[in-house]
Amino acid sequence: MSEARDLSIGVDVGGTNTDAVVIDGAGTVIARTKQPTTTDVTGGIRAGVAAVLDAIGADRDRVSRVMLGTTHATNAIVSRRGLGRVAMVRLGAPAATELPPVTDWPGDLRSSVLAGSTMLGGGHMVDGTPISPLDRDGVLRFIDSLDGAFDAVAVCGIFSPSFPEQELEVASLVQDHIGLGTPISLSQDIGAIGLVERENATIINAALYGVARDVTLALETVVAEQGLDAVTFFAQNDGTLMTLDFAARYPVLTIGSGPANSIRGAAYLSGVDNAIVIDVGGTTSDLGVLVGGFPRESTLPREIGGVRTNFRMPDILSLGIGGGTIVDPATGSVGPLSVGYRIADEALLFGGSTPTLTDAAALAGTAIGGRSMPAVPAATRTALQAALEKSHRDLEDAVERLSLGRADLPLVVVGGGGFLVPDSLVGASAVIRPSDGDVANAVGAAMSLASGRADQLGDFEEREAAIEAASKAAIEKAIQAGADPLHVAVVDVLETSVSYTARPTVKVSVKAAGPLTRLSADQPVTAHSTTQ
């Protein structure tokens, strides 16, 4: 890439701070900032981008990409705000009618999201044999029965990740019937094998279309306000990037982007490919495992807002330990409440009246912002000392849980509250504190690859064909997400035996990744507009 177009901006919106960095073509952080996260998200993004652009001055014309990681989708689910109404179509009758869709959802979330559901003929056995013919007329009758009182459609068929034809046909039927304006979420694109969890993830994805539209428009607005000629990307759950159009179709893939960004940024800044990473913020400490430069993915169903799902998520352990975590001066108990972004007003170190873990670290001799710890009552001093010791023990326990018995993994410390982690911890071979680690999440967003993943079932004797088919699909999805077609490659292949089948069967999961498409020296770029 020409030096004239070699700058990327990474932005990560956290619960307390919105971090932004500018990285040049050599991978050096040349500007950085921390801004308070705002209620509407846009304000924090606007402030962060403006601050780093001011810092680079005339070099702003070299910016060609802006990458964003945000917890906006997660917050919408947890708070039950801004979610769309979803018409749910399950294909699998009569085999899958005992447990209707969203049966195990929290009542308030179910009533907020579900416009209606139906279970129709269709679906496949594990070997590809149709369970029953696809009920095409039933699909259209169901759509008509809702009289347009829905914002999106979700479709989930039994074993559709391996046999996608019926879901694709339903999508075509619905689009021909009601037009292209209503978005349709297909389970084959969202989750892995496992009907209920994949169906749940597909419904959540469909409910988040409006939220995704708002966030993508917010990012595009900020980029336009600054007059940047830049392509925009979103960070996703596995620590890679996707285009805004891709994010608009699959917003559920952004839910775990915050911790994933931190892990990828920690890998980049530390130069370590295998490690335990801890990101200490103002409210929580998120621990994850770095394997081959990418976050280790969870192998268990993950709960999002009280709903079990099986789409890819990083294996994260969260602790209520952060710089703003409140310490009870009477008992020395730690958290779970935090002063969050109000720490500069409420913590003792800054002249406030609330004891926090930041105060405990300052009392122990840690230099924080050039400030000196004021005199505190003896009881408060004892409580702060006990709280810091307890937080260290909790961190050691968490490292031991994630290391799975390995003692050779270093601990990479990032995040603004990294001073809470001691210089040595039982279970970690070393403690590494990389430069610019306090903005590792934004760095991770700025330098990540684009990726895609695909699953395939097949007879064990034909496993090579299954790997080839899944690899082709994963590479195609990575290119859709923004990867350079000339440099995308398969980076991970996982094979798992499938139980209770008449013939030996294997499930193949393939991940492909590659650098973002390069721009020529004189090639103008424009931010992608959303199509949903």
CATH architecture of 450-514: 2-Layer Sandwich (3.30)
Please name the amino acid found at residue 465: A
pLDDT at 526: 38
Q: Is a pLDDT exceeding 70 seen at residue 519? A: no
Packed helices 195-207 and 209-225: angle between N→C axes, nearest 10 degrees: 50
- Its CATH architecture, for the domain 1-81+210-271+441-446, is 2-Layer Sandwich (3.30)
Backbone angles phi, psi at 227, to 5 degrees: 65, 30
**Does residue 362 surpass a pLDDT of 90?**
yes
Q: In terms of Cα–Cα distance, which of 85, 141, 154, 90 is closest to 115?
A: 85
Residue range 132-138: mean pLDDT, rounded: 95
- Region 434-457: what's the mean pLDDT? 86
> Which has the closest alpha carbon to 439: 39, 26, 51?
51
Residue 528 is predicted with a pLDDT of 34
Distance CA 186, CA 222 (A): 31
pLDDT tens digits for range 322-354: 999 999 998 878 888 888 778 888 999 999 999
Q: What is the pLDDT of residue 532?
A: 30
pLDDT, tens only, 140-171: 999 999 999 999 999 999 999 888 899 999 99
Give the list of residues 6+ apart from residue 521 with CB closer than 8 angstroms, or none.
1, 2, 4, 5
Residue-level pLDDT at 83: 93
Which one of 1.10.20, 1.20.1630, 3.40.1580, 3.40.50 gives the CATH number of domain 84-207? 3.40.50
pLDDT tens digit string along 222-268? 999 999 998 888 888 877 888 888 888 889 888 878 888 888 899 99
Q: Average of pLDDT values for 109-123?
A: 95
Residue extents of the structural domains in the chain: 1-81+210-271+441-446, 84-207, 318-433, 450-514
User: pTM of the entire structure?
Assistant: 0.76
